[in-house]
Amino acid sequence: MTDDKDVLRDVWFGRIPTCFTLYQDEITEREAEPYYLLLPRISYLTLVTDKVKKHFQKVMRQEDVTEIWFEYEGTPLKWHFPIGLLFDLHASNTALPWNITVHFKNFPEKDLLHCTSKDVIEAHFMACVKEADALKHKSQVINEMQKKDHKQLWMGLQNDKFDQFWAINRKLMEYPPEDSGFRYIPFRIYQVTTERPFIQKLFRPVATNGQLNTLGDLLKEVYPAAITPEDGEKKNQVMVHGIEPMLETPVQWLSEHMSYPDNFLHISIIPQPTD
């Protein structure tokens, strides 16, 4: 019988085969070969693409290189969204490898945040962890930790060290024995087609009658359009880490086992593929 803890490892070690190609209008001194890389689902583009940058900079002149940014089929990819979320949202039902275009010019100011150093990624990551704990524990757990514990979360993510990360993160997944779960569940629901960036609301893991709320309950509450009506055709996939969890799954369980390292459940609503 699979242990629930195995899910934590499966989530952590998920990878997406990606092919990086330099944008055709970039000025190069030689032909730029595509670069292949397995991207960790749980990480961030600018954290894991140093080799990509080096590879393409080798064929470019120094003066033509400004901040790197990535695009998929014309859509700039937000580096501050986890890689797995970006893939699920934009490309999960397309053939692998994921084809990403690399740019060094014309940074799209309106679409992307700047990422001038790893410190920016760390600051963003920690802010998300803090926001998640504000929802789960009124920030009590994260605030009780020492700075070195916060650093360990970041280093664990940066260096792909599961045990180092979870030694600290497990504390963020605890709750008082008298409760059945967190205060509120940190989640964000994304859809490519809508204007709004994502849906994030207060949602309790336990109903007033003491029953555990499910993924279906969450959707009914905050995004009912995502649920297939009784006799209707399934129009959407509700995806987390590349899979569609059963709607009967308790959100408390999902939060503990399928959150990203930032402690948020990032959920994608994408069109049902027509096979």
Please tell me the distance from the alpha carbon of residue 93 to that of residue 25, in angstroms, as a whole number: 28
Provide the b/e sequence for 175-211 (b: ≥16 CB within 10 Å).
beeeebbbbbbbbbbbbeeeeeebbeeebbbbeeeee
Contact between 224 and 274 under an 8 Å Cβ cutoff? The reply is: no
For residues 149-178, which are near another protein according to CB under 8 A?
150
State which residue, 8 or 83, has the beta carbon closest to another protein.
83
CB closer to another protein out of 20 and 264: 264
- 5 Cβ contact list (under 8 Å, min separation 6): none
Q: Which of 67, 197, 244, 246 binds another protein (CB under 8 A)?
A: 197
The smaller minimum CB distance to another protein, of residues 26 and 262, is found at 262
Options 50-58, 67-75, 93-101, 199-207: segment touching another protein (CB under 8 A): 199-207
Asked if 113 is part of the footprint of another protein (rule: CB under 8 A), the reply reads yes
Do 260 and 181 touch, CB atoms closer than 8 A? Answer: no
Closer CB to another protein, 132 or 270, in the complex: 132
Interface positions, 208-247, toward another protein (CB under 8 A): 208, 213, 217, 220-221, 224-225
Shortest Å distance, C-beta 231 to another protein? 18
Q: Are 245 and 254 in contact (CB under 8 A)?
A: yes
The CA distance from 85 to 62, in Å, is: 32
Between CA 147 and CA 152 the distance in angstroms is 9
Beta carbon nearer to another protein, 192 or 202: 202
DSSP annotation of 15 reads: E
Contacts of 109 (CB under 8 A, 6+ apart): none
Rounded least distance, CB 204 to another protein, Å: 6
Query: Which two structure tokens, joined as six digits, stand for 183?
Result: 């205060």
Judged by beta carbon, residue 59 or residue 134, the one nearer another protein is 134
x/- mask, another protein, residues 16-55, rule CB under 8 A, reads: ----------------------------------------
Binding residues for another protein, rule: CB under 8 A, are 80, 113, 123-124, 126-128, 130-131, 134-135, 139, 142-143, 147, 150, 184, 196-198, 200-204, 207-208, 213, 217, 220-221, 224-225
